[in-house]
Structure 1
């Protein structure tokens, strides 16, 4: 009797406290006691389960510890209870304690603990439990096998998951849905995806709405338009479309991802207007495809139907205004966000607002949005840093990064690469600062991140330490096009054209396709090294072989290269073949080369074209005046200068970077 009173008293207090206040659906009398017999495990298990359902984990734990006897159901209830309260490691500890006390698991124990291990990433422990499943003969249990399949899919061991799945003597619909969900979410290949669907039909397993949702989601990720369209037909025939709104939403996402917005709109029209999820999906779809008017139209219809737009809709619209540089629309969206009360508490909206104002060159509003955030978050800091970087406020980027470090805000690769980029764009990047940020990258685990390392390559080369750029490039685990372009640009900056061409050839051998920036860096390397023939070949190579069509930067680089080496007629022909026959910068470069090589004929044409292109810019007119003065046509030189003065042109006074010190 000594053990009876404490547990009776404890159980009575639990029911009075929790069932009369928290579980108001079941009011029990105060004199009720569920443990008139402390050996009644079933009654105590029921109490334990109800306490956990009410969210009273502490009280449930006290009751569990006071129980004189526990069976496997008791342990299962507590293991699941810890899991539902997001304590997976405590669930695992409880499971180990149960096994050590000689209590044998049942199918519920294994399915529960394996699901916990899979969802919490406790894979090593899950594999150990799998061994115990085999030893105790539970391998063919469909519920346990489902949990094992889910765990191995999350581990990325698809072959193991498929073997377990196909070894089952009978596969029911929930197991098929589980495997389809795992393959869709983790981006399995289209072959795996279609094979599963074919095998499912061969086994005469009838799909439900959830199955079709996963299948269409898989087609969406893989852009399988034909297969997705066939599934749409099956969905209509089986009648699932009218009864499953999630399936209808999946069709909207599918056609949007495949770029068939007409069919996406048709799928949207079939969905009942009370479904707010689809409204928000359509706003996001139109905004993501730069369909400004359609996105605003759907937003207006939402308001007419008295539907509340979600945060994701506004984020999509704010991102659209950032891309389109629509500041006025962005401000209107901001007012709408404030009216709905979404501006506080939503980190993603605050981040999108900071980015929108920054991309629209309204830095003051961007800073104001940043300062209005309730708490400094990683997303808002990143948006503020990229906005400052975009507008050339490099020193302020360092201040934001320093604030993150001081306030213990964990930075990511975006924060770090933005800071390194700001450092590289300063007039004189400091090697010590480059090394310090490199150390931050190593300590924070970003020493193998390609974006961070590419920013470091650029920063080191700009600081004049090409050796460190080379070492950083060699540290890239698998150099991509950005990495190769960064090191080519570093060599080009130092006038090492031969090295640029060698790295470019290595990149081509690896099967990487160069883009416009890559070709521009190679041409700059040829330009700074005087490699004329090589530059010509690269310029032709980009158009004929890679179908990368040159823009004004490539033409400008080639005109400068040909002009430096005295090939002025070729430079003029190339310039005339450029779109709009070149711009003032290119003609200015050609005229400068004509002055150096004393070519009067090409120089006259270049001077005339330059003055026609820039009738209001004094610097170009003075350049033309100086050219005529150098070839001895002083009257023409004076006339050009007088015309400039008559148009009230004035030349900006230059400045020197040399400091003047006064000595007293």
Structure 2
């Protein structure tokens, strides 16, 4: 306290903070439970209530304070710790709080950068949300940021940004978000300053009017009923009154409108002040003479034409200057129904529906105003935007009672509101009861049906619209084309295309975009491209559609080129454009392009939009950057079901099973209801890790929430049970499916194939056509795998040819991989090599590795050398390739060549990574590495190996030597 007082006495503007950890003490004993199990004698509340302390501070080191706890528990503690201090700073201390120190040490056991970035994101998000809601958190300082070459305490918390790119991205992204908040509050502060200055000026003109009135009292005596003044005699010169009156009129025009003329006629004779003119956006001329007494009472001329004022108000709303329009509306001397409707529609157009409904409520209770259909339709639109169903239902009741329900404007707006609420049955009822149905009404009901997923019913209503004789417009056709796209109704879509050409709508941008999307979704991608080329004008929707088309066609290079041409054409991409382009980077596995796009969307403020963030997560995952994908997820200010499902799939596909389970649990507690995609991803983890018990628990939970009949869930369960060796359980899930679908059917075929059940696989495939299902490319992968495992090469070739000849499925590299494996298992290495060379798709390392391993089994040195040469061109430091080639030489007695390969490995510094495995014992998973004896069960494991080796007459050392030669 003494030090704070001393510093303030020297410099009163010097800001002070205590700089303590923030542990709660004796002043708030009930809060001490929030502390970690430490007590250092400080008191957060008491320390920061000292006079002169301007900022409260809190430190956060859960890894130090809770070193024996799990990572998840530490983060949970951090959330509660920060929430409590921010809340107490706002309610008890009433002062800003600085998150002064936080971090995670790289010296912690099991440390990785993702853990640190996750902690940073949590802290930054607390600051962001506090700033966004006007809370007390004023900033954060993590310990400690350094440039390369700077000295540090080497306590493990130091961060060199040039060496930690993911952490640098976290800081950049969060700093950008905070900077946006700063700009918003700066803008608000400037507006408040402007309002105060304006109010001050207004105070000035009120004084001027008062002076005018006092002068007028000296000039005139109230005459009686006619409002004409009788002259007593002027004691003030006429020019003084004229000048003051002009100044006052100038001030009331917000200092922007000039007073063109103020002519006072012979006041002794007329006792009136005519012709006061204002010049703003339009000239507003007061031609009616007004007595000074009346002028004084109303402060502004009451004869101003309302039509002209409403016209000026409408112009302000049209130009988007809603702030100025509201200010004019608030000072208008009179407001009629048109004035209210104009300002309410302005707020609805600006998507400020809550303010629009508030104004409508004020209009409702204002005396002398009557409702009209147009204003009511605007209010219904505001209800739809605000998702305020209660207000909308109240209006519906009023419409029925007042008879406005029969208005085509009101009826169309009402059914549109119900459609947007998902109450499509109520919307249909309103539509059916409408006495007159216009093109707007028909379009509204068709739009509601299509957006609600009732695509076929939408097309039925289009037919009814034709029969009723109402001519459809371009908007109607655009929404019908969307229904055709979702249904895959190509023929109906072509018919609509013909109508658009006849009516001349095909040149309209949104119709052309809808046509392109329809053809793309119906599989006619070349038609969509042709339409794009013929477009006269291409907006952002057109470019986004064509980029998305290229991504769907897997022509990712063309998608990038289209994006480049879009920018060259001067069209600004939106969030959906960026999401599509980032998806193309995923297909190309171009991490550098993806990172550049990430930096760009960060700069323009689109990185936190759902579509972009979800696409970024997928891109980083496919490029192997799991930590970067996690950083994007944890940096999102809001997340939808796609976000949660994506991050769970990222961890699942990346082999991070524990993290996938944690995020599913987190989603169930704090996020939206888990979807079938999330459950399918975690079931995939259970299958890949062969953790049957957790898979059964998930199955039980899925049954309890009623998702067991979803296609994706059924196929995931079949896969999980198959990979865990429970083929009977997989068959049970398959047999209990209520509806036949190709996804579950294919999963069962693959399950049989993996278990070597060749007859069951083939029989199940033959049953496909009998139940009306058509196999896809994944189905044939399972079928070819089964033929490979059973050694049925000729049958495999039969199905391989059948795939393209009968089902028009172009073989992919996965199908070629199955065929090469089939030939290798059959000993037909020459044919396998020829097939690899003739593959129309990309030849990756998988097919050459398959051939190399087969050469080792068959002892084919020449073919093995060629396969190894191709593999080393792709990856010169691959240990498996070197070892397998050395084994081929050794098996043929070519010891010199084998020694040369070993020498080459040592020269390159290539080392074989030791093998590792894991085992679950009593709900505990233990991992162990080959040759490592330091773990507690090491001696026991190697003792068992000795026992096994003795039974096959081989020593553990010899066994280890043989295993070292395996790839």
Does TM, normalized by the shorter one, top 0.5? yes
Give the match for residue 835 of structure 2. 578
Which of 654, 659, 669 is equivalent to 1:396?
A: 659
Relative to structure 1, is the Cα distance of residues 583 and 552 closer, same or farther in structure 2, using a 3 angstrom cutoff? farther
Q: Secondary structure at the match of 1:436?
A: helix
2:868 matches 1:611: no
Cα distance between partner residues in 2 of 1:656 and 1:174: 68
Contact 2:516 2:529 in 1 (8 A): no
Report how far residue 347 of structure 1 moved: 1.9
Write the deviation string for residues 168-197 of structure 1: whole angstroms up to 9, x where unpaired: xxxx54456457656876585799689949
Give the match for residue 371 of structure 1. 634
Which of 487, 490, 493 is equivalent to 2:751?
A: 490
Give the match for residue 436 of structure 2. 142
Report how far residue 356 of structure 1 moved: 1.9
Cα distance between partner residues in 2 of 1:358 and 1:373: 16
2:388 matches 1:87: yes
1:527-538 equivalences in 2 (<5 Å): 528=789, 538=799
Relative to structure 1, is the Cα distance of residues 638 and 309 closer, same or farther in structure 2, using a 3 angstrom cutoff? closer
Relative to structure 1, is the Cα distance of residues 329 and 95 closer, same or farther in structure 2, using a 3 angstrom cutoff? closer
The alignment of Structure 1 onto Structure 2 pairs a total of residues equal to: 556
1:229-308 equivalences in 2 (<5 Å): 230-231=498-499, 233-236=501-504, 245-247=509-511, 249-250=513-514, 258-260=525-527, 263-268=530-535, 270-271=536-537, 278=542, 290=556, 291-292=558-559, 294-302=561-569, 305=570, 308=572
Which of 406, 421, 435 is equivalent to 1:107?
A: 406
Contact 1:520 1:553 in 2 (8 A): no
Relative to structure 1, is the Cα distance of residues 646 and 432 closer, same or farther in structure 2, using a 3 angstrom cutoff? closer
User: In terms of mean alpha carbon deviation, does 216-225 or 481-490 score higher?
Assistant: 216-225
Report how far residue 320 of structure 1 moved: 1.4
Cα distance between partner residues in 1 of 2:502 and 2:378: 44
Cα distance between partner residues in 2 of 1:557 and 1:198: 59
Relative to structure 1, is the Cα distance of residues 626 and 450 closer, same or farther in structure 2, using a 3 angstrom cutoff? same
Relative to structure 1, is the Cα distance of residues 573 and 409 closer, same or farther in structure 2, using a 3 angstrom cutoff? same
Give the match for residue 210 of structure 1. 475
Relative to structure 1, is the Cα distance of residues 96 and 643 closer, same or farther in structure 2, using a 3 angstrom cutoff? same
Relative to structure 1, is the Cα distance of residues 534 and 94 closer, same or farther in structure 2, using a 3 angstrom cutoff? same
Which of 118, 122, 135 is equivalent to 2:423?
A: 122
More helix per residue: 1
Cα distance between partner residues in 2 of 1:321 and 1:230: 37
Report how far residue 76 of structure 1 moved: 7.9
Contact 2:741 2:773 in 1 (8 A): yes
Which of 334, 340, 346 is equivalent to 2:604?
A: 340
Cα distance between partner residues in 2 of 1:490 and 1:21: 68
Q: Secondary structure at the match of 2:865?
A: helix
Relative to structure 1, is the Cα distance of residues 519 and 281 closer, same or farther in structure 2, using a 3 angstrom cutoff? closer
Q: Secondary structure at the match of 2:768?
A: helix
Cα distance between partner residues in 2 of 1:536 and 1:400: 44
Cα distance between partner residues in 2 of 1:64 and 1:195: 37
Give the match for residue 355 of structure 1. 618
Relative to structure 1, is the Cα distance of residues 585 and 413 closer, same or farther in structure 2, using a 3 angstrom cutoff? same
Larger radius of gyration: 2
Cα distance between partner residues in 1 of 2:379 and 2:465: 38
Report how far residue 279 of structure 1 moved: 5.7
Give the match for residue 471 of structure 1. 732
Cα distance between partner residues in 1 of 2:457 and 2:402: 44
Cα distance between partner residues in 2 of 1:480 and 1:529: 27
Give the match for residue 314 of structure 1. 578
Relative to structure 1, is the Cα distance of residues 510 and 125 closer, same or farther in structure 2, using a 3 angstrom cutoff? same
Cα distance between partner residues in 1 of 2:759 and 2:661: 36
Contact 2:791 2:822 in 1 (8 A): no
User: In terms of mean alpha carbon deviation, does 509-518 or 446-455 score higher?
Assistant: 509-518
Relative to structure 1, is the Cα distance of residues 586 and 322 closer, same or farther in structure 2, using a 3 angstrom cutoff? same
Which of 310, 316, 329 is equivalent to 1:25?
A: 329
Cα distance between partner residues in 2 of 1:515 and 1:282: 26
Cα distance between partner residues in 2 of 1:120 and 1:587: 61
Report how far residue 319 of structure 1 moved: 1.2
Cα distance between partner residues in 2 of 1:349 and 1:363: 17
Give the match for residue 449 of structure 1. 710
Relative to structure 1, is the Cα distance of residues 514 and 251 closer, same or farther in structure 2, using a 3 angstrom cutoff? closer
Contact 2:852 2:884 in 1 (8 A): no
Cα distance between partner residues in 1 of 2:405 and 2:566: 53
Contact 1:284 1:295 in 2 (8 A): no
Cα distance between partner residues in 2 of 1:195 and 1:60: 34
Report how far residue 384 of structure 1 moved: 2.8
Contact 1:350 1:373 in 2 (8 A): yes
Contact 1:223 1:258 in 2 (8 A): no
Which of 667, 677, 690 is equivalent to 1:414?
A: 677
Cα distance between partner residues in 1 of 2:786 and 2:513: 52
Cα distance between partner residues in 2 of 1:381 and 1:640: 53
Contact 1:253 1:264 in 2 (8 A): no
In structure 2, list runs of 5 or more residues that go unmatched. 1-323, 348-354, 839-846, 873-880, 920-927, 929-936, 944-967
Contact 1:276 1:308 in 2 (8 A): yes
Report how far residue 317 of structure 1 moved: 1.4
Contact 2:680 2:713 in 1 (8 A): yes
Cα distance between partner residues in 2 of 1:78 and 1:265: 36
Q: Secondary structure at the match of 2:767?
A: helix
User: In terms of mean alpha carbon deviation, does 278-287 or 483-492 score higher?
Assistant: 278-287
User: In terms of mean alpha carbon deviation, does 513-522 or 431-440 score higher?
Assistant: 513-522
Write the deviation string for residues 215-250 of structure 1: whole angstroms up to 9, x where unpaired: 6667767456865664464355xxx678x5544555
Which of 818, 822, 835 is equivalent to 1:554?
A: 818
User: In terms of mean alpha carbon deviation, does 102-111 or 487-496 score higher?
Assistant: 102-111
Relative to structure 1, is the Cα distance of residues 377 and 489 closer, same or farther in structure 2, using a 3 angstrom cutoff? same
Relative to structure 1, is the Cα distance of residues 66 and 193 closer, same or farther in structure 2, using a 3 angstrom cutoff? closer
User: In terms of mean alpha carbon deviation, does 312-321 or 476-485 score higher?
Assistant: 476-485
Contact 1:523 1:557 in 2 (8 A): no
Write the deviation string for residues 112-156 of structure 1: whole angstroms up to 9, x where unpaired: 6655544433356668879xx8xxxx67x224xxxxxxxxxxxxx
Cα distance between partner residues in 1 of 2:403 and 2:501: 49
Cα distance between partner residues in 2 of 1:547 and 1:250: 28
Contact 2:784 2:799 in 1 (8 A): yes
Report how far residue 330 of structure 1 moved: 1.7
Cα distance between partner residues in 1 of 2:804 and 2:426: 56
Report how far residue 497 of structure 1 moved: 2.6
Which of 898, 913, 921 is equivalent to 1:641?
A: 898
Relative to structure 1, is the Cα distance of residues 223 and 438 closer, same or farther in structure 2, using a 3 angstrom cutoff? same
Contact 2:629 2:647 in 1 (8 A): yes
Q: Secondary structure at the match of 1:25?
A: helix
Cα distance between partner residues in 2 of 1:94 and 1:192: 30
Cα distance between partner residues in 2 of 1:640 and 1:495: 38
2:765 matches 1:504: yes
Report how far residue 434 of structure 1 moved: 0.6
Report how far residue 433 of structure 1 moved: 0.8
Report how far residue 58 of structure 1 moved: 6.6
Cα distance between partner residues in 1 of 2:430 and 2:494: 42
Q: Secondary structure at the match of 2:652?
A: helix
Report how far residue 536 of structure 1 moved: 6.8
RMSD, aligned α-carbons? 5.0
Cα distance between partner residues in 2 of 1:590 and 1:486: 32
